[in-house]
Amino acid sequence: MNNKIYTKITTHSLQEMKRNGEKIAMLTAYDYSFAKLIDNASIDIILVGDSASNVMAGHETTLPITLDEMIYHAKSVVKGSNRCLVVVDLPFGSYQGNSKNALESAIRIMKESGAHAVKLEGGSEVEDSIKRIIESGVPVMGHLGLTPQSIYKFGTYTVRAKQSEEIKKLKNDIKKLEKAGCFAVVLEKIPAKLAKELTESVKIPIIGIGAGSDVDGQVLVMHDMLGMNMKFNPRFLRRYSNLSEIIDEAVKKYIVDVKNNSFPNKDEEYN
Ligand code: KIV
């Protein structure tokens, strides 16, 4: 693997990576400290995902998180990032109504957080909004397949695009997003074979989550891949750490030390 060294990732670097066959690595983050760690490790894209609604705020779905809350998370992530591209999710209700509303929401995110791009869910239904945001100079990442903001329409988080109607719409939508000017698209939870076909059908990078390996890059929710939530076990998830156990062990040791009065010791006090 002889990849080009990028000192700063832009939407253009991502297109170049696709052309050169270099895979794109993307993770979510929602705060300054984790963003700094992930950026230092050379992640290509940090997504300030509306999954913050689940992993930061404890909501069951991504629907309740507000635009103000997303901007708060995005500001913190931007402060902790240097090399990576920071993309921020437009939350549910901030862009579906009409394209003027969508543009206003995107501009607030860009102006108030300092992020580099926005992401929004959907295909032809949000095409006008995507075009209007891009016309204003804001890069847009699309999101197709399983779109969690529509969970009450789908009724379940199972794999999408198994039936011919949905496959047809997906093929149509990905072309529409490319034509509208999206710089990349996330494909969530669709059959790997279809994801490969869709990836080969467009020039823009396709980032998969539960979409197999024949896409241009991968994204995972940071809390899931670090093993902070052992109850979430989808097939596509690979855990790279076991932070929930590590944290549990550390906190229990601290409690014992405090109860035993063995913390702090003489070296840990001021004279
Ligand atoms: O909000 C999020 O974390 C996402 C990823 C799962 C792609 O949209």
Confidence at residue 142, expressed as pLDDT on a 0 to 100 scale: 98
Find out whether 214 and 198 touch, Cβ atoms under 8 Å: no
Q: What integer is the mean pLDDT of 22-47?
A: 98
Tokens (6 digits) for 231: 């109850």
| Whether residue 188 lies in the annotated active site | yes
Ligand 1 atom 1: the closest Cα is on which residue?
49
> Would you say residue 267 has pLDDT above 70?
yes
Q: Which atom of ligand 1 is nearest to the CA of 188?
A: 7
Collapsing DSSP to helix, strand or coil, 262 comes out as: coil
Atom of ligand 1 nearest to the CA of 121: 8
List the residue whose alpha carbon is closest to atom 4 of ligand 1.
Answer: 49
Ligand 1: centre distance to CA 245 (Å): 24
CATH number at residue 176: 3.20.20.60
Which residue among 188, 190, 220, 229 is best mutated to probe the pocket of ligand 1, counting the most ligand atoms within 8 A of its Cβ? Answer: 188
pLDDT tens track for 171-180: 999 999 999 9
Q: Is the pLDDT of residue 95 over 70?
A: yes
Tokens of 233: 């076990």
Is residue 77, in this structure, part of any structural domain at all? yes
Per-residue pLDDT band at 14 (split at 50, 70, 90):
very high
Has residue 4 been placed in a domain? no
Helix axes 164-180, 127-135, angle to 10 degrees: 20
Q: Measured in angstroms, how far is the CA atom of residue 159 from the centroid of ligand 1?
A: 15
Question: Does residue 75 sit within a domain?
Answer: yes
Q: For residue 82, report the distance from its CA to the centre of ligand 1, in Å.
A: 21
Query: Per the structure, how many domains does the chain have?
Result: 1
Asked if residue 265 belongs to a domain, the reply is no
Of 10, 123, 31, nearest to 73 by C-alpha is 31
Distance 17 CA to ligand 1 centre (A): 21
Residue 266 in any domain: the answer is: no
In a domain, 248, yes or no: no
When pLDDT is cut at 50, 70 and 90, the band that residue 2 belongs to is confident
CA 153 to chain centre: 21
Residue nearest to atom 8 of ligand 1 (CA): 49
Q: Supply the mean pLDDT for the chain.
A: 97
Atom of ligand 1 nearest to the CA of 207: 7
The mean pLDDT of 251-271, rounded to a whole number, is: 98
Beta-carbon contacts of residue 129 (< 8 Å; ≥ 6 apart):
95, 96, 98, 99, 101, 102, 103, 120
Residue 268 covered by a domain: no
Got the DSSP string for 173-202?
HHHHHHHHT-SEEEEES--HHHHHHHHHH-
Ligand 1 atom nearest the C-alpha of 51 is: 1
What is the reported pTM? 0.97
Lowest mean pLDDT among 1-5, 32-36, 173-177, 210-214: 1-5
Rounded CA-CA distance 88/102 in Å is: 13
Instruction: Find out whether 29 and 38 touch, Cβ atoms under 8 Å.
Output: yes
**Quick one: tokens of 90?**
């437009």
Assigned domain for 200 exists: yes
Q: What is the pLDDT of residue 99?
A: 97
Supply 38's token pair.
Answer: 């992930």
pLDDT of residue 1: 64
State mean pLDDT over 179-197: 98
Cα separation, 117 vs 111, in Å, equals 11
Domain range for 191: 11-242
Pocket-forming residues, ligand 1, beta carbon under 6 Å: 28, 47, 49-51, 89, 186, 188, 209, 219, 221
Active-site choice (188, 197, 245, 249):
188
**CA 49 to centroid of ligand 1, rounded, Å:** 5
Query: What average pLDDT does this structure show over 180-185?
Result: 98
